[in-house]
Chain A
Amino acid sequence: MRRLALFAALFAAFTASAQDKVLRVVPHSNLNILDPIWTTQYMARNHGYMVYDTLFGTDEKNRIQPQMVEKWSESPDHRLWTFTLRPGLAFHDARPVTGEDVVASLERWGKRDAMGQKLMTFVERMDAPSPNSFRIFLREACGFVLEALGKPSSNVPFIMPKRVAETPADKQIDDATGSGPYIFAKEDFKPGDKAVYIKNTKYVPRQEPPSGTAGGKQVYMDRVEWNLALRDAQAQVNALARGEIDVIEQPAFESYPALQADKNVQVVNSNPLGFQYMCRFNHLHAPFNNQKVRQAALAAMTQEPFLRAQVGIKEFYRSCASMFTCNTPYGSAKGSDIQSKSNIKKAQELLKTSGYDGTPVVIMKPTDLAAIQKLPDVAAQLLRQAGFKVDLQAMDWNTVVTRRAKKDPPAQGGWNIFCTAWVAPDIWNPLANPAVGALGEKSWFGWPSDAELEKLRDQFARETDEPKKKALAESIQTRAFEIATHAPLGEFIEPLAARRNVTGFVTGPGNLYWNIKKN
């Protein structure tokens, strides 16, 4: 009898997994914050795309397309925007999505997101004249209303129920009710273990084919499970090879040869725009408060060694002299010679004439972020070869983030260099790219200060003529290389790996889980 019960239990366990279509995913990081408005973390953003829907989306060609919105209009003076929601939109608790929910959601997002904050400086008020519409009243005309509402990456203006969106912007929300294609299974969420998303059977997708974050969000899976426990790169590869999981969002670069050799596994790039690496100098303190020393460092830090060490796979990286990423509107090699046409000997000469006094360079190395872990080692070696004294300090990424905000001298808990990576859209123009801001202590970590650079950026912001904008972007880049704001270190892609029977990956800034089929 007892044996019978045992068999029954075993049987139940096997059949449950056979009947449900479950997609088992190893996401790129841990999911610990469930409020995509409160934090800019990409994991929270991806969680948001599961659970919430957006007013507009950005398609593969970077055009804004309606998503929850059916039709919209703007008044002749461009100051009143009226939007109508498409029919059939409902939250997971079955309540319809109304204009009031939208207004409350936009208000909360407008307090956190940088672009949202900017939009709100134009907004006079917002209201919902009827349950299925909302209006935005502007003080003066504003050219990026749709771009802001269809923003594809953090913070994405996700639409939440009014009662949730009324949570103060500086507090995290408690309720993951959305109107998106999946429902968050709160009772199954085990931090550091797994997060479960169940198909929202009531979701009404648009009719257009999916493209980026726009188009129809068709769901073919019953459940998507994020495995948050499986973080060892080798174990991920083993588990995928054995079919214990279906997708690895960001395999370690070291894993690709093994993945590509496995005939049951495919490597798919769903983010063709790719990423750019950079190392940032701290302009406040010695030795990098000296422009000539920064130039010597920049000359030492040619891109190929970084890319080869960190990425290693030729097809996955390329050198790119542009600070605004290559093959994009403002991608150009202008002014980059000091880095792109350099070598160690040149760097050694530059350093000798710079007045460098042997102050050690403190480089912060995160030990728990495989995607950028080797950059600091390469920087250290190249700088040493150029004649610098280097103090490579290892710490976890959390400490890097805490410490890079400190303006103290390196000896008192500050720093000289840290390295990071950006998604292309975050840095592809002189306004978005935080590294070329030069407002001193008001700028992004590293705090360069340069009146000329700021003047050029200001001109760029006012300019509307596209060829002139391009010329200005080139001048900005030339100036930025001249004062050595930072060292761009080339571009790379980081394709996902999946079992061959998983198809239909959508291209986008993050990993999106609609349209995916598992045969």
Chain B
Amino acid sequence: MMLRNWSVRIGSMVLVLLVVVALAAPWLGTVDPTLFDAASRDLRPGQPGEITTLEGDTVKHVFVMGSDSYGRDIYSRVLYGTRVSLIVGLAVALVALALGIVAGLVAGYIRWADGVLMRVMDGIMAIPAILIAIAVVALWRASLTSVILAIAIPEIPRVTRLVRSLVLTIREEPYVEAAVALGTSTPKIMFGHILPNTAAPLLVQGTYICAFAILLEAILSFLGVGLPPDIPTWGNIMAEGRVQFVAYPHNVFFPGIFLAVTVLAVNMLGDGLRDTLDPKMTQGRVRTQVLDEHA
């Protein structure tokens, strides 16, 4: 039923392809994406050059997507960059969902915690997401963990709000009231009865977070406050390429296409899921919440 939706179908097909590319990167004609040789700098797509291996041997290599100003192979970097982008997107979605679910359940179910928690969430929401992310990454050391946390933190309030509102609705349902009357423990009600009913909207929300996280990771790298530059990510490749964008547009062009296609695929998946899982959801409503952070 879900796969009959063309949006879901295209989106998931592209994503599966990207996952395959990411996993199979070493066998797709790539070289070590961090290796460089100054003799091969600024090659245009398709030009041959050379790469010096870690053992100190020099080998011939064709730069399918050209090379950057270090002389690194853009094709290898873009392919390996797929891994980073997918990991960041997935990890941010999982972290934000996990923390948001816990906070949302607590806020929705435990009255006294509700006020405090929601005020804190309001506070986080009042700070533009990109500023939180920049501050976290720049002030703490940039690493995969700090970048994932930096992007996930501003997402948490939205998940929390969604879960809380769902909890408030569901707890009025007869079967939950019955469970309460039967003396079922609070955690059991929360995780056994309420959580399963929030799965569908959270899945949709999760895809949007994932798409947003992939974009924001690239933006942070682009601003120079993202993952360390020696890790090949699409944002890093573009950040290095922007210096000579006019002369060598391939440095921005190839990772840019990969980034746009990936985010597009995740977004399409999300849109499709939303339409199939919950036709009642007004177009754009969940999107609106997610877009809060597109900044």
A309/B230 contact (C-beta < 8 A), A255-B244, A258-B247, A393-B141 known: no
Residue of B nearest to A306 (CB): B38
Q: Is B224 an interface residue (CB 8 A)?
A: yes
Q: Is B12 an interface residue (CB 8 A)?
A: no
Query: Are the C-beta atoms of A255 and B243 separated by less than 8 Å?
Result: yes
Query: Are the C-beta atoms of B38 and A308 separated by less than 8 Å?
Result: yes
A393/B228 contact (C-beta < 8 A), A237-B246, A258-B244, A377-B36 known: yes
Query: Are the C-beta atoms of B69 and A312 separated by less than 8 Å?
Result: yes
List B residues 166-183 near A (Cβ within 8 Å). none
Query: How distant is the Cα of A255 from the Cα of B242 in the complex, in angstroms?
Result: 11
Query: Are the C-beta atoms of A381 and B36 separated by less than 8 Å?
Result: yes
| Count of B interface residues, CB-CB < 8 Å | 27
A345/B56 contact (C-beta < 8 A), A309-B41, A392-B228, A393-B228 known: yes
Query: How distant is the Cα of A232 from the Cα of B246 in the complex, in angstroms?
Result: 13
| Count of A interface residues, CB-CB < 8 Å | 32
**Interface 1/0s, chain B 34-68, versus A by CB < 8 A?**
11101101000000000011111000000000000
Partner among B41, B52, B228 whose Cβ is within 8 Å of the Cβ of A394: B228
Q: Is A503 an interface residue (CB 8 A)?
A: no
Query: How distant is the Cα of A252 from the Cα of B247 in the complex, in angstroms?
Result: 14
Query: How distant is the Cα of A395 from the Cα of B38 in the complex, in angstroms?
Result: 23
| B229 proximity list for chain A (CB < 8 A) | 365, 367, 377, 394
Partner among B41, B70, B230, B245 whose Cβ is within 8 Å of the Cβ of A392: B230
Query: Are the C-beta atoms of B244 and A374 separated by less than 8 Å?
Result: no
| A365 proximity list for chain B (CB < 8 A) | 228-230
Query: Are the C-beta atoms of B243 and A394 separated by less than 8 Å?
Result: no
**Interface 1/0s, chain B 114-149, versus A by CB < 8 A?**
000000000000000000000000100110000000
Query: How distant is the Cα of A365 from the Cα of B229 in the complex, in angstroms?
Result: 9
Query: Are the C-beta atoms of A385 and B54 separated by less than 8 Å?
Result: yes
Query: Are the C-beta atoms of A234 and B242 separated by less than 8 Å?
Result: yes
Q: How many A-B residue pairs have CB under 8 A?
A: 71
Query: Are the C-beta atoms of A252 and B36 separated by less than 8 Å?
Result: no
Q: Is A296 an interface residue (CB 8 A)?
A: no
Query: How distant is the Cα of A377 from the Cα of B244 in the complex, in angstroms?
Result: 19
| B141 proximity list for chain A (CB < 8 A) | 393, 395
Distance between A296 CB and nearest chain B CB, rounded to angstroms? 14
Query: How distant is the Cα of A254 from the Cα of B239 in the complex, in angstroms?
Result: 13
Query: Are the C-beta atoms of B39 and A234 separated by less than 8 Å?
Result: no
Query: Are the C-beta atoms of B56 and A309 separated by less than 8 Å?
Result: no
Query: How distant is the Cα of A257 from the Cα of B246 in the complex, in angstroms?
Result: 11
Distance between A255 CB and nearest chain B CB, rounded to angstroms? 7
A381/B38 contact (C-beta < 8 A), A237-B246, A367-B224, A395-B142 known: no
Query: Are the C-beta atoms of A305 and B38 separated by less than 8 Å?
Result: yes
| A368 proximity list for chain B (CB < 8 A) | 224
30 A-B pairs (CB sep. < 8 Å): A233-B243, A238-B246, A254-B243, A254-B244, A255-B243, A255-B244, A308-B38, A309-B36, A309-B38, A309-B70, A312-B38, A312-B69, A345-B56, A365-B228, A368-B224, A370-B243, A377-B70, A377-B230, A381-B34, A381-B36, A384-B54, A385-B52, A385-B53, A385-B54, A385-B55, A385-B56, A392-B230, A394-B142, A395-B142, A396-B224
**Which residues of A are interface residues toward B (Cβ below 8 A)?**
232-234, 237-238, 252, 254-255, 257-258, 305, 308-309, 312, 344-345, 348, 365, 367-368, 370, 374, 377, 380-381, 384-385, 392-396
